[in-house]
Chains A and B, each alone.
Chain A
Amino acid sequence: MEFTNEMKLELKAISENESFARMVIAAFTASLNPTLEELGDVKTAVSEAVTNAIIHGYEGNRQGVIRMHGYIKGKILHIVIEDDGVGIPDIARAMTPLYTSKPELERSGMGFSFMEAFMDELTVESEAGAGTKVMMKKIIGLENKYE
């Protein structure tokens, strides 16, 4: 099936852009007529992925670039968030609820748990030194999910 719609965005890895990324994805998702709850879910998941790229991927290096790619196929919203940062040496451990590599920053260790909980599908590709790619899917329009 062809994409109904598609968008690509490049962001500098600075924390001011977390809210910008949320606004963009909310506007992009609007065409699918999401409920307020669905819109909140998508914004939270994007916020988590972009924050991870800033804090963990680029470790605060403000010159880093984060790419967000969104596309819609039917009722399914696909979001891909990528960075060229340090990568994740152990993805399974990083995705363990409450695990954080930066406890000194008062991180909750729930970023990936939230992405998993708020989206229908989550895939993470990464290796040390090779950046991180987070792929998420969500069916929008819950009432009509099984049409």
Chain B
Amino acid sequence: MENYIVVNQCLFVKMPKELDHHETDRIRSDMDGYFITHPIRHVAFDFSETEFIDSSGIGLIMGRYEKLHVAGGKIFVMGVIPSIRRVLAMSGVTRLVYIKESERDVFASIQ
């Protein structure tokens, strides 16, 4: 399964079933590889298969936001179930990201 794809300078990242510290370390280093090899402005995290997130996952999103927003980049979060949305809202990270239903909605806002 392809977990990373770059379209229109937006890096799409398929999030794992459980996004904890173990997984964020792996995803962060994978993403850093893409930042070196591709011109990336935006990041879209696909949570459609994710059932768990803790503060490590929040740290990943906040860290990517810090990295991209200075250059006008946006962070998108797609396919969140209510329990994930609750954690995102509690952390305040919902103020930094754009919550979208699907890839199509993401494309519409980066055209």
Q: Mark A83-125, 1 if CB is under 8 A from B, else 0.
A: 0000000000000000000000111111101100100000000
Is B87 close to A, CB under 8 A?
Answer: yes
Provided the pairs A48-B54, A51-B56 are in contact, do residues A110 and B91 lie with their beta carbons within 8 angstroms? yes
Is A19 close to B, CB under 8 A?
Answer: yes
Is B18 close to A, CB under 8 A?
Answer: yes
Provided the pairs A44-B54, A51-B56, A108-B62 are in contact, do residues A19 and B22 lie with their beta carbons within 8 angstroms? yes
Is A147 close to B, CB under 8 A?
Answer: no
User: Which single residue of chain A is at the shortest CB-CB distance from B64?
Assistant: A106
Is A5 close to B, CB under 8 A?
Answer: no
A108 touches B83 (CB 8 A): no
CB neighbours of B28 from chain A (8 A)? 106
Interface size class of B (residues with CB under 8 A): 20 to 34
Q: How far is the CA of A90 from the CA of B43 in the complex (A)?
A: 36
Interface size class of A (residues with CB under 8 A): 20 to 34
Q: Find B21's partner among A44, A54, A113 (CB 8 Å cutoff).
A: A54
User: Which single residue of chain A is at the shortest CB-CB distance from B28?
Assistant: A106
Query: Chain A nearest CB: distance from B23 CB in Å?
Result: 9
Is B105 close to A, CB under 8 A?
Answer: no
CB neighbours of A105 from chain B (8 A)? 59
CB neighbours of B60 from chain A (8 A)? 106
Chain B binding site: helix, strand, loop or mixed by DSSP? helix
Chain A binding site: helix, strand, loop or mixed by DSSP? helix
Query: Chain B nearest CB: distance from A127 CB in Å?
Result: 24
Q: Which chain A residues numbered 42 to 92 have a C-beta less than 8 Å away from chain B?
A: 43-44, 47-48, 51, 54-55
A108 touches B52 (CB 8 A): no
Q: How far is the CA of A47 from the CA of B54 in the complex (A)?
A: 7
Q: How far is the CA of A19 from the CA of B51 in the complex (A)?
A: 12
B52 touches A22 (CB 8 A): yes
State the B residues within 8 Å of A (CB): 18, 20-22, 24-25, 28, 52, 54-56, 58-60, 62-63, 83, 87, 90-91
Q: List 12 A-B contacts (CB under 8 A).
A: A22-B52, A44-B52, A44-B54, A47-B56, A51-B56, A109-B55, A109-B59, A110-B59, A111-B55, A114-B54, A114-B90, A117-B90
State the A residues within 8 Å of B (CB): 15-16, 18-19, 22, 36-37, 40, 43-44, 47-48, 51, 54-55, 105-111, 113-114, 117
